Chains A and B, each alone.
Chain A
Amino acid sequence: MTSSQPAAGQPASGTTKPATIKQLETGPSRLLSSRLAAAAGLVVLVAVIGVFPLVFTNATVTNFAVITLIFVAVVSAWNLFSGFSGYLSLGHAVFYGTGAYFLVVAAKDWNITGSAVFWLLPLAGLVAAVIAVPLGLVALRVRRHTFVVITIAYFFIAQLAASNLNVTGGSSGLLPPVPNYAASTFNNPFYYVAMLIAAIAVALAWLIRRSRFGLQLRAIRDDEDRAAGLGVRAMPVKLSALVLSAFITGMAGALWVYFIGEAFPQFVFDPLFDLAVVLMGFFGGLGTVAGPVLGAIVLEPTQQWLYLQETNGYSAEILFGALFLVVILFLPRGVLPTGAEYLTSIRARIARRRRQEGGPPVSVPEPGSQSSAASPPSAPSQPSATAGGTP
């Protein structure tokens, strides 16, 4: 449209239509303000989570909160591998349980008690990460269904090993040391450590999603062969993601076992754990950063509450299964992506109506990361990014 300008691809020119200039001016400031809002929201969120156990001192509530934060960490870690790379792991309980057993055995053998036990957490994560290397090297050779089934097989091998080896105490289980914290604030140290691990997990997911590494992971998810053709070294990338994920999961598992104070094979390696993690990931939105956090915060307390209400066990199991089906059938892509798509379509509709009424142009928001069916048809005034670029 601007044939007089040689640098038509560069939109930063003052001689185009006024509408475009206006959009250019609003673009960066809107970006800045939305970033500020996000940062402010984050600060508020951290503050709220930070003072939570000081406000709600009821032991049942803080108990739920600790478990929930542990799940925030685990689901974020799981999503960091499975959500980003598309390799659905149903065997993360292996890393969780490895971390848990490491903590119990190490604390017993090295006579570590009290708060010093928390220093074992990074080591527990490291052990889980080391175990993830051979497991990943074998499992990541296959894709799709076969990968899922191999992770399930890992899970059963681990459970079998835990019930038969001497080091884990077999089916009679092991007991970690019990810290001598005051009964009224017993949960608080666990709470803050869980908060720290969850924060690390979320920050890691955020950093990876923005990085080249995250881009490579998502390229593998979309089409691994094509990604490899474009120069992504798929195996190291996938394996690194799995190892990072295992590290966080191992730490969380170690904290969990120290918190609940017992280690039995059937609870440390629990098939429902894997399912719960996957459900939370799917609920919030696979491959997003905030989705797993949302999924864990909504679903874990719900599940805990269900098990508290329905002590017979099976009712909670049936309800959990039904909830799972509802999520899969009606929210297949998770709350966040579905919600974002819905917002985008509403905004696009408003923008179109304003244009038709001849009002001031509103820049059409970009469609979400997923290709959305609701993306608006090409209209006379497109966003600034493409202005001047079309012949």
Chain B
Amino acid sequence: MGSEIGQAIAAGILGGGVYALMAAGLTLVFGVLDIINVAQGILVVLGAYLSYAISQHLHLDPLAGLVITVPAMFIIGVVIYWLFIRPLRGAERTSMTLLACFAVALIIEGLLYRFFGSGYVSITAWFTTSSIHIFDFYLADSYLIGFGLAVVSMALLYFVLYRTTFGRAVRATMQNQTAARLIGIDVTRVSALTFGIGTAVTAVGGMVYGAISGGFTPNSGYDLISRLLAIVILAGMGSIGGALVTAVLMTTAEALVDIWQPDWSVAVFYAALVIILTFRPAGLFGRRAVRAQ
């Protein structure tokens, strides 16, 4: 029992890192554009399928395949923004952009069914079948690789946001769009690039998801997006650090509940969401956490 709990906690923390990466894309897009990209879930699945296709047809290692999938997902993100998000303005923009993202998600899901069918597939590579033995429990290599990738990506994201001029423009836009425009920031360009970055992280997230989830279908997007939304809302929207902490907390809690109640472990996410928001409507970390950083 003790080792089971230890293993659950380890898996929760490692898996949480991956969810944190996907959620970081979502929360970044929310912070800059003030929209909820409900297509993030299906974009992760799309990233997973891209990695799968590359490893199947080009016989490339999925890790090396990231060189192709990350720019590809970035371009897809920019195109989605330019075609479907940018034209939406006016009072109903909040709900319109959300619905536009939903429509994009439907189309992507349909296309994935068209090209890959509805059967389960999973990404196989050198790190998906082995595991290492630490203390008295086993950790799959895919979890470790996934966590490592997530950490590297998050560090990269952090570097871009806090050490570059572009990152400064992004943060300025997050704080006050009108003021950012007044001091000469091209907000549309920043928004497009941010949406691209938020989508590009799904290439990494999707590859890891495809390797650790033990099989995915085009339908997996719903499960993913509901978890990601729970994480982002719970963390307080726009807070990247908060998303990291919340993701780890939630996946660990889920892994622990999974030991006793496998059928209900998914409900942990939603139950926590409803309960915490009852007492803290702004989420655990709120938006102030972003500004304090």
Contacts and interface: CB of A to CB of B under 8 A. Distances in A.
Interface of A: 88, 138, 141-142, 144-146, 148-150, 152-154, 156-157, 160-161, 164, 271-272, 275, 278-279, 282, 286, 313-318, 320-322, 324-325, 328-329, 332-333
Given A275-B106, A322-B103, 20 more contacts: A88-B94, A88-B95, A144-B94, A148-B36, A148-B95, A149-B230, A149-B233, A150-B273, A152-B226, A156-B226, A157-B270, A164-B263, A314-B111, A315-B110, A321-B104, A321-B105, A321-B110, A324-B102, A328-B103, A332-B92
A194 B267 CA distance: 34
Contacts of A146: 233, 237, 277, 281, 283
Interface of B is mostly: helix
4 pairs of A and B residues whose beta carbons are closest in the complex: A321-B106, A318-B110, A324-B103, A317-B110
B99 A282 contact: yes
A363 B277 CA distance: 53
B119 interface: no
Interface residues of B, number: 44
A51 to B, nearest CB: 36
Given A275-B102, A321-B103, A328-B99, A150 B113 contact: no
B76 interface: no
Contacts of A282: 99
Interface stretch (B48-56, B82-90, B140-148): B82-90
Contact of B92 (A313, A329, A333): A333
Interface of A is mostly: helix
10 contacts: A142-B277, A149-B229, A150-B274, A154-B270, A154-B274, A161-B267, A275-B99, A314-B109, A315-B110, A325-B104
B277 A314 contact: no
Given A138-B274, A329-B87, A320 B106 contact: yes
B30 interface: yes
Contacts of B106: 272, 275, 317-318, 320-321, 324
Contacts of A322: 103, 107
B230 A145 contact: no
Contacts of B245: none
A23 B46 CA distance: 63
Given A138-B278, A146-B237, A321-B107, A160 B267 contact: yes
A145 B37 CA distance: 11
Contacts of A317: 106-107, 109-110, 113
Nearest to B261: A164
A332 B90 contact: yes
B274 A325 contact: no
Contacts of B105: 321
A249 B259 CA distance: 37
A147 to B, nearest CB: 10
A299 to B, nearest CB: 13
B289 interface: no
B256 to A, nearest CB: 18
Contacts of B92: 286, 332-333
Contacts of B281: 141-142, 146
B237 A150 contact: no
A328 B94 CA distance: 12
A271 B88 contact: no
A153 B113 contact: no
B266 interface: yes
B156 interface: no
A144 B281 CA distance: 12
